[in-house]
Chain A
Amino acid sequence: MTQSESQIELLEPPPVGVVVEDKVAGVAGQSPTRLALGRFRKDRLSMIAFVVVAFYVVAAILAPILVKFDVIHPTALNPTLLNVDLGGVPNGAWGGMTWHHLLGLEPRTGTDLLSRLWYGMTFSLTIALTASVVAIVIGTVLGIISGFSGGIVDAVIGRMVDVTLSFPQTLMLLALSATGVALFAKILPGSQSDPLPNAVYEVLLLGLFGWPGIARLIRGQVLSIREREFVDAARLLGASRSRLYFKEILPNLWAPVLVQFTLIMPAYISAEAALGYLGVGIHVPTPTIGNILKDSVNYSQADFGYFFFPALLLAIIVVSFNLLGDGIGDALDPKADR
């Protein structure tokens, strides 16, 4: 949104030599962060989304510990609870839902579905988080360089963005998966079948295709920041390029970076599920939301609960992350009306 002229004047720093600190402190006394937090707290929908996301994240972090201490059992078999005549569909309504198995059982093995989903969330979130970090880091660094340098550097990075955006990402992921995974299996320690090569491949490709949008956005921000006086001042004082990038400009970019991060996370969570469904991601038996969905779609008629709960879980987390991202964006930039 463009600022009105009067606002620009207001935001302009005071002329050199005029001391204004006391005056500002007297008027407000609140940092921009505190102001944003206050706005965020007042938005009930965002708070609900935040609580849901926090719950998911904490649960995902706890899952491996709970497995270690035998609280949840993502691999245990319960063949006695299954209906053999129907090919191993759980006995009872909603996929064998009981107090012991709150979301029912997985068909054919009788593994507790809640345990599997819970443990799977750890892998799905780890992949989405790592891929987001890769995309954000590349996008931010290239965006700053591009916006600050201008000229030929800007043009080159701009074309890189264009080229990357024009690649059919999903097709590339599918087409390169065999060679890509084999390559990482050779480079990384461990055997060919380790889930690590698959995970690294997925994270890198998601990240490598995710940065262009962020780079463009950051570049736009940098273009306006670099004209500000404090940047000129730093430059006149002989600050190095890296100091200008990371000490002067970067701190002013946290808001857009944070918003981008919360928006890219849910995109990658659903991307992981889609890729798992297509058979590119981490392989079974490691449970991920994608792996579970891939198996459960075959049971949409035979065992609706098995199909429904993983899909519901995925939908909730993606929606929550998106609402959280919107909420943070609104709180940091209140002028952007909904």
Chain B
Amino acid sequence: MANYRKKALAVAVAASMSVALAACGSGSSNSPSASGKGGGTLTYYVRSTYDHNDPQRTYLGVELANWNRMVYRSLVSFPMSSDPAVAAKPVPDLATDTGTSSDNAKTWKFTVKDGVKWQDGKPITCEDFKYGASRVFATDVITGGPNYILTYLDVPLDPKTGLPAYKGPYTTANNDVAAFNKAITCDGNTITYHFKKPWPDFPLAVASLHMMDPYRKDKDQGDKSNYQIFSNGPYELQGAWDKEKGGTFVRNPNYDPATDSTDIRKALPSKIIFDIGKTSEQITDQLIADRGADQGAVTQQSIPSSKFSQITGAVADRSVSVESPFVDYLVPNMKRLTNPVVRQAIAVATDDTGWVAAGGGPKSYKPATDIVNPAVSGYQSDLFPGGGGDPAKAKALLTSAGVKMPYPITYSYPSTPTADTQARALQAGWEKAGFKVTLDGVADSDTYYTNIQEPDQTADLDWAGWGADWPSAITVTAPLFDSRPNLTANSNGQDYGAYKSDAFNALVDQAQASASIADQTKYLQQADQVLAKDVAYIPLDIPIFFMLHGSKVMNYTTDPASSSYPELGAIDVSSSVK
């Protein structure tokens, strides 16, 4: 699956989000007016701007899924299926097969299909894939995306910085290009990756993320390409992408369906319009009214709880509710909350029941007791108490810690009407336990994650959301709490609380070196227990995606591959919606 990040933001806004990769599968529903021909215009409503459209920088679950179905094909992709077992098995996309591994999964080989083309008609070559991967190493330019290959690819580390000796395609100074050329080799149409350690689930990473996607060197302008979309899929961007408003996608004449599989993408609508900037309330009102272009509209925003009473009758038939693959959690800032007993007191006092109720209740959220989603291997149900919190016990803990009460804490979160109310629920619970809580609702949600990645951020607790990149806990706890790849001078990476634990890091190393999935899971569970003991996070909820779509949308589906967002590979719109 994918990173929740801003996804989660979107959710918080509305009320809910998310789905479980393996679990609930699809809420395929619908479609009342499925009679008649398809191929109409699909409108896709998005509340807030996307951070990146660059394949190597995209890390939002919804973007990863949408761009895969529309514009960025990968070597292998996840098929559209509601069956978790099928959905978690990549199928060939730009490659002829799902890859062959050798040397204990340290070497992976793929062959690029013949006849696959970019939107300007030029063929996609092995060198394009190699160039795409090289961009990930430019950590000063290509920011925000997944960085797994920095730790896996067989490029020596610079002993001074601890980062890879290869620094990407944009610099020549002190850059070990030869090492990179050895790590990824091209032989005709065959690309070979050499890794330092075994990576048995490498095809899963390729299928769920866009970091290994091809990139055309002559189209690369570094950071300026952030919102450029140079397609190799069934659609291409008409004109430019407007960060604040979105863009319109039309059919790509150089896309040949014969090179593709209808298991991955059917590409049915003739036109797809991304409309950014309306609030969840506005989007929901428009979809309830169901007029004009909104009849062919879908959205990634969940229905806000203030609109629940209007989702009845025919409108309810156009709504779909699925459990998301994400988990929302609180991150204690280890630089400020240095006393572990104080962190325990916060965890014990956290009113998870009030949090869920304030967010709209069970239609919006399910309480969580682990940062790992129940659909992901490595989930444990007894790590945190959950429930309504125990202020008396928390107060006793605070007293035993010998700190001055009321103990002041600041909670930072992306502000929306729902999130503000939820913050008040947390505040009420904490204040009963002897804390003095300041709520810091960040109005500009576009920059929220950038803010909490600041090494000197002043909040004591941050809200965050995450979903596994692929269905293993190794893509949850390791990227979020391993201090080594995350903490740098300018950024906390995804380790927002600057958590640093040798015991945890050692267990992650053991998990990554494990030959069997069972061993790996065992070490990851132990690592998660270390996190729980240190209160490196406090789990809050699993968002529910409760989404509405227009009456002329046909074959509305969500599945694990789409992170439970609308599956753009399958959805069609009646031809009457132009």
Inter-chain contact A87/B421, CB cutoff 8 Å: no
Q: Inside 8 A of A299's CB, which chain B residues have their CB?
A: 306
Q: Inside 8 A of A283's CB, which chain B residues have their CB?
A: 415, 420, 439-441, 443
Which chain A residues in 163-211 approach chain B with CB under 8 Å?
A: 178, 191-194
Q: Inside 8 A of B412's CB, which chain A residues have their CB?
A: 193
Inter-chain contact A108/B360, CB cutoff 8 Å: yes
Give bound CA distance, A111 to B427, whole Å. 13
Instruction: Say whether B121 faces chain A, with CB atoms less than 8 Å apart.
Output: no
Instruction: Say whether B80 faces chain A, with CB atoms less than 8 Å apart.
Output: no
Least Cβ distance of B351 to chain A in Å? 8
Instruction: Say whether B105 faces chain A, with CB atoms less than 8 Å apart.
Output: no
Q: Inside 8 A of B148's CB, which chain A residues have their CB?
A: none
Give bound CA distance, A192 to B363, whole Å. 34
Binding site for B on A (CB under 8 A): 75-77, 79, 82, 84-89, 107-109, 111, 178, 191-194, 279, 283-285, 294-295, 298-299, 301-303
Residue of B nearest to A185 (CB): B458
Least Cβ distance of B355 to chain A in Å? 11
Inter-chain contact A87/B15, CB cutoff 8 Å: yes
Q: Known contacts A84-B362, A87-B306, A302-B306; decide if A191 and B425 are in contact (CB<8 Å).
A: no
**Sample of 14 A–B contacts (CB below 8 Å):** A76-B428, A82-B357, A84-B357, A85-B363, A87-B304, A108-B305, A191-B458, A193-B412, A194-B438, A283-B415, A283-B441, A283-B443, A298-B281, A302-B306
Give bound CA distance, A211 to B361, whole Å. 48
Q: Inside 8 A of B354's CB, which chain A residues have their CB?
A: 77, 79, 109
Give bound CA distance, A95 to B410, whole Å. 32
Inter-chain contact A285/B439, CB cutoff 8 Å: yes
The listed residue (B417, B425, B443, B458) touching A298 by CB distance below 8 A is: B417
The listed residue (A75, A89, A107, A191) touching B427 by CB distance below 8 A is: A75
Q: Inside 8 A of B308's CB, which chain A residues have their CB?
A: 85-87, 89, 302
Q: Inside 8 A of A284's CB, which chain B residues have their CB?
A: 415, 420-421, 423-424, 439, 441
Q: Inside 8 A of B360's CB, which chain A residues have their CB?
A: 87-88, 108
Q: Inside 8 A of B359's CB, which chain A residues have their CB?
A: 108
Q: Known contacts A77-B354, A193-B410, A193-B438; decide if A84 and B424 are in contact (CB<8 Å).
A: no
Give bound CA distance, A178 to B447, whole Å. 12
Instruction: Say whether B140 faces chain A, with CB atoms less than 8 Å apart.
Output: no
The 10 closest A-B pairs by CB, nearest first: A87-B305, A193-B440, A87-B308, A284-B420, A298-B306, A84-B361, A87-B360, A302-B309, A79-B357, A285-B424
Q: Inside 8 A of A82's CB, which chain B residues have their CB?
A: 357, 361
Give bound CA distance, A301 to B444, whole Å. 28
Which chain B residues in 435-451 approach chain A with CB under 8 Å?
A: 438-441, 443-444
Q: Inside 8 A of B428's CB, which chain A residues have their CB?
A: 75-77
Inter-chain contact B358/A108, CB cutoff 8 Å: yes
Instruction: Say whether B74 faces chain A, with CB atoms less than 8 Å apart.
Output: no
Mask for B304-340, Cβ within 8 A of A = 1, else 0?
Answer: 1111111000000000000000000000000000000
Chain B interface residue number, banded: 35 or more
The listed residue (A88, A192, A285) touching B423 by CB distance below 8 A is: A285
Q: Inside 8 A of B418's CB, which chain A residues have their CB?
A: 108
Inter-chain contact B438/A88, CB cutoff 8 Å: no
Mask for B342-378, Cβ within 8 A of A = 1, else 0?
Answer: 0000000000011001111111100000000000000
Instruction: Say whether B459 faces chain A, with CB atoms less than 8 Å apart.
Output: yes
Give bound CA distance, A331 to B249, whole Å. 68
Of B281, B354, B417, B431, chain A has the most CB atoms within 10 Å of the CB of B417
Least Cβ distance of A174 to chain B in Å? 11
Mask for B114-153, Cβ within 8 A of A = 1, else 0?
Answer: 0000000000000000000000000000000000000000
Inter-chain contact A302/B307, CB cutoff 8 Å: yes
Give bound CA distance, A191 to B360, whole Å. 30
Residue of A nearest to B424 (CB): A285
Q: Known contacts A109-B358, A284-B439; decide if A302 and B310 are in contact (CB<8 Å).
A: yes
Give bound CA distance, A82 to B356, whole Å. 13
Of A76, A88, A178, A302, chain B has the most CB atoms within 10 Å of the CB of A88
Residue of A nearest to B362 (CB): A84
Of B306, B363, B418, chain A has the most CB atoms within 10 Å of the CB of B306
Binding site for A on B (CB under 8 A): 15, 281, 304-310, 353-354, 357-364, 410, 412, 415, 417-418, 420-421, 423-425, 427-428, 431, 438-441, 443-444, 458-459
Q: Known contacts A88-B360, A109-B421; decide if A191 and B438 are in contact (CB<8 Å).
A: yes
Of A76, A107, A108, A109, chain B has the most CB atoms within 10 Å of the CB of A108
Q: Inside 8 A of A77's CB, which chain B residues have their CB?
A: 354, 357-358, 424-425, 428
Q: Inside 8 A of A279's CB, which chain B residues have their CB?
A: 415, 443
Least Cβ distance of A283 to chain B in Å? 5
Q: Inside 8 A of A85's CB, which chain B residues have their CB?
A: 308, 361, 363
Q: Inside 8 A of B423's CB, which chain A residues have their CB?
A: 284-285
Inter-chain contact B420/A107, CB cutoff 8 Å: no
Residue of B nearest to A193 (CB): B440
Inter-chain contact B304/A295, CB cutoff 8 Å: no
Q: Inside 8 A of A285's CB, which chain B residues have their CB?
A: 420, 423-424, 427, 439
Give bound CA distance, A283 to B443, whole Å. 9
Give bound CA distance, A82 to B309, whole Å. 13
Q: Inside 8 A of A302's CB, which chain B residues have their CB?
A: 306-310
Give bound CA distance, A111 to B441, whole Å. 20
Least Cβ distance of B388 to chain A in Å? 9
Give bound CA distance, A271 to B529, whole Å. 51
Inter-chain contact A193/B421, CB cutoff 8 Å: no
Inter-chain contact A89/B309, CB cutoff 8 Å: yes
Least Cβ distance of A44 to chain B in Å? 42
Inter-chain contact B361/A87, CB cutoff 8 Å: yes
Inter-chain contact A109/B425, CB cutoff 8 Å: yes
Q: Known contacts A87-B309, A194-B438; decide if A298 and B304 are in contact (CB<8 Å).
A: yes
Q: Inside 8 A of B420's CB, which chain A residues have their CB?
A: 283-285, 295
11 further A-B contacts with Cβ under 8 Å, apart from A77-B425, A87-B307, A283-B415, are A85-B361, A85-B363, A87-B360, A108-B358, A108-B359, A191-B438, A283-B440, A283-B441, A294-B417, A295-B417, A301-B310
Of B307, B353, B364, chain A has the most CB atoms within 10 Å of the CB of B307
Give bound CA distance, A178 to B357, whole Å. 31
Residue of B nearest to A111 (CB): B424
Give bound CA distance, A111 to B309, whole Å. 20
Least Cβ distance of B17 to chain A in Å? 15
Give bound CA distance, A128 to B425, whole Å. 29
Inter-chain contact B363/A87, CB cutoff 8 Å: yes
Give bound CA distance, A63 to B15, whole Å. 32
Residue of A nearest to B412 (CB): A193
Residue of B nearest to A80 (CB): B357
Q: Inside 8 A of A86's CB, which chain B residues have their CB?
A: 308-309
Residue of B nearest to A89 (CB): B309
Q: Inside 8 A of A75's CB, which chain B residues have their CB?
A: 424, 427-428, 431
Q: Inside 8 A of B417's CB, which chain A residues have their CB?
A: 294-295, 298
Inter-chain contact B357/A193, CB cutoff 8 Å: no
Give bound CA distance, A170 to B412, whole Å. 27
Inter-chain contact B307/A295, CB cutoff 8 Å: no
Give bound CA distance, A89 to B305, whole Å. 9
Inter-chain contact A295/B421, CB cutoff 8 Å: yes
Give bound CA distance, A283 to B357, whole Å. 21
Of B358, B360, B428, chain A has the most CB atoms within 10 Å of the CB of B358
Least Cβ distance of A127 to chain B in Å? 18
Give bound CA distance, A86 to B306, whole Å. 8
Of A77, A279, A295, chain B has the most CB atoms within 10 Å of the CB of A77
Least Cβ distance of B162 to chain A in Å? 32
Q: Inside 8 A of B431's CB, which chain A residues have their CB?
A: 75
Least Cβ distance of B305 to chain A in Å? 3
Give bound CA distance, A303 to B307, whole Å. 10
Give bound CA distance, A303 to B412, whole Å. 29
Give bound CA distance, A191 to B411, whole Å. 12
Least Cβ distance of B171 to chain A in Å? 34
Q: Inside 8 A of B427's CB, which chain A residues have their CB?
A: 75, 285
Residue of A nearest to B459 (CB): A193
